[in-house]
Structure 1
Amino acid sequence: MSKKNQFETDAVRTQLERSQFLEHSSPMYLTSSFVFEDAEDMRASFAEEKDRNIYSRYSNPNSSEFIDKVCKMEGAEDGFAFASGMAAVFSTFAALLQNGDHILSARSIFGSTHNLFTQFFPQWDISTSFFKFNELDEIDKLVTPRTKIIYAESPTNPGVDILDMEALGKIAKRHNLLLVIDNCFASPYLQQPIKFGADLVIHSGTKLMDGQGRVLAGITVGRKDLIDRIYRFARITGPTLSPFNAWLISKSLETLAVRVDRHCDNALKLATFLEDHDKVNWVKYPFLKSHPQYTLAKKQMSAGGCVVAFEVKGGLMAGQKFFDSIKLLSLSANLGDSRSIITHPASTTHSKLSSEERAMVGISDGTVRVSVGLEHIDDIIADIAQALG
């Protein structure tokens, strides 16, 4: 039996077979279609009697390499790559659900996913019930005969709360439901939800996987039978990742471990600084001992991730003054970038939620989300310190 490589080795050494040119780095396959040897080859390929590339909306060597890497990282059987994280979320649910089905979702999820569940899926008579991240014992009461999927993010966006994925996996198994986890806040380097019972794992590759704010990408990995259904939906509807973006993000995965190590180190230092600041009401970071789910975070994750959440004292006016005083950090709605990004969730990522809905997931007008980047930590802290005043 061959020795299993470590995470970092698979990230670097999983790549396409070399062509006749014996290139060291995987080449780009910027082609929309692929040619056939003869009529029989064409027929057999479309009949799926051969495992080969036909059209880049279906598959492409660069997408296949990206999928292969993430499957190894997550411990998944198969996967499919999408043009964005939300394309992955929508396509996964659309492929697996039918008219009249029911979703059980954690309440603390990305704003666009919440809108998908509450505004668009009801048009197809697909309903959603929500549970709080710390009230998993209530889930059994929400299960109906039409429930098909339990969905959650951990850590959550933007409050970095931690859900017990092992408990969710047991609930899903007890009711014969699928467990789908959005893992983009942690990345497969920090946690692998399949180990805790997830059937499918979704990533916005736009975040830590790319890590440099260059491309949009998404991916779903997990059970082969489920991925086959997702693939067939995506093959027809076309939300596929482009070959160039697949090539770029696959190269980015080679440095995922070293980048995330630095992200986590910087984020913990920033969170520790904020915890003692007199202009901050509270700060949350999974690997701070004061985090309510610190023990659970340590069980599920190898480090705390790149996102720190905190609340500025003084309400909305103080919050606006703080953001207007930032000089170094970027005011943007992305995360997982090499550049530190500071976001006001109430007016950006979760602005489409009502104030009541935001309050239910702990998002106040003064909540700040910092995606801690790779700059020197002293400069990151100095900029936030001067903005706090």
Structure 2
Amino acid sequence: FFFVPWPVAGAADAAVRGMSALRTPRIIGTAMTALGRHHTSSVELMSQALRSALSNCGLSMDDLEGLVAVPSLSHPHFMEAHNLATYTKLLPRKGVLVRTVDTGGASPISALISASQFIRTGYVDVVAVVAGDAVASMPLDTFLQRADVSCQSPDDPLPSPVIPNGYDRVARWAIAQGHVTREQLAMCSVLMSANAARHPLAMTRRAYSLDEVLQAPHVAPVTTTLECARRADGAAAIVLASSTFLQQRDWRGPSAVVLGGGEGSGPLYPPADIHDAMFSCEEAARVAYESAQLGPRDVDFFGLYDCFPICLTRALEAVGLAPKGRGGAFVEQWYRDHLAGAAGPGRYPINTHGGLLAFGAPWEVPAMYNIVEAVAQLTGAAGGRQVAGC
């Protein structure tokens, strides 16, 4: 799967870039559960995150008019959002709009776009986006079986674990093209672990060394265990509200305005004949920038999807931080600055929470952590990770 980046800006009181001020969607609440192994159901984790996000912005389930959720691998349900809405007693209340969105790792971003559209079109005034899973509590063989089946090509099957081997195929292609080196890929995990060490809720508590990453057990030809997203149980939720609702409530808390978003679709699994045109990252970034009327120089913080290092290097290129084919070189300079003690959030405002490689990855949840971190940055709540002027 591929990610969809989205730029967001701080709260504003007037109409924003052509949007009606009254129908402007604002993120007013965020929450996440602890990451780890909880031995509880995904729907219970989602319920906890949802109620916490509502409480954090002074709202309750009675205020909620819409819910967008993403699927769970550990406890799959038909129509995940309806299942969560029923579990939390949001349904069968009338006048509630509920939707399940599944675009793989990009699901939380697609869900955020849907939730924003709910508000802009006037369907609802308050909507929540929720994601949660309990993949760390699954037996490893069960997790691998379900994950492998989810994206195995019938015509060109990959060995188990399928997902790491699929991204490894892309990584080997990129190495052959001269876009990245093996060491530059490993540097991604070093950098994300250093970022995660600054976040109190991250699973990774110290920075890896380059040798640690390279010498870790292999799961695929050029991918080690420390270059895979960290499997975890956890959930996160965000609450969006219209300016109309906030004015009626005289709500004055911190918020972030959603200016725009973009999506692009690529193949479900990497084909044997990989080519540069198959990737959707650049398309999604272009649409997001255009919808928000922004460019890379306007963005103060980047939340980039990094389930494997090759995703991070390509994302750096897609959003305009590195020239085409030079994402690896960007990472190497970042790594050199890290060794020199000069790679803090102010200089590299990218995945300041640690990303999938180090923060934690409950299946389709992690892009929610990018959103939560972006809101924390925009509202000045990121503590020691704060990007100055964000």
TM-score, normalised with respect to structure 2: 0.25
| Higher RCO (C-alpha 8 Å, min separation 6) | 2
TM-score, normalised with respect to structure 1: 0.25
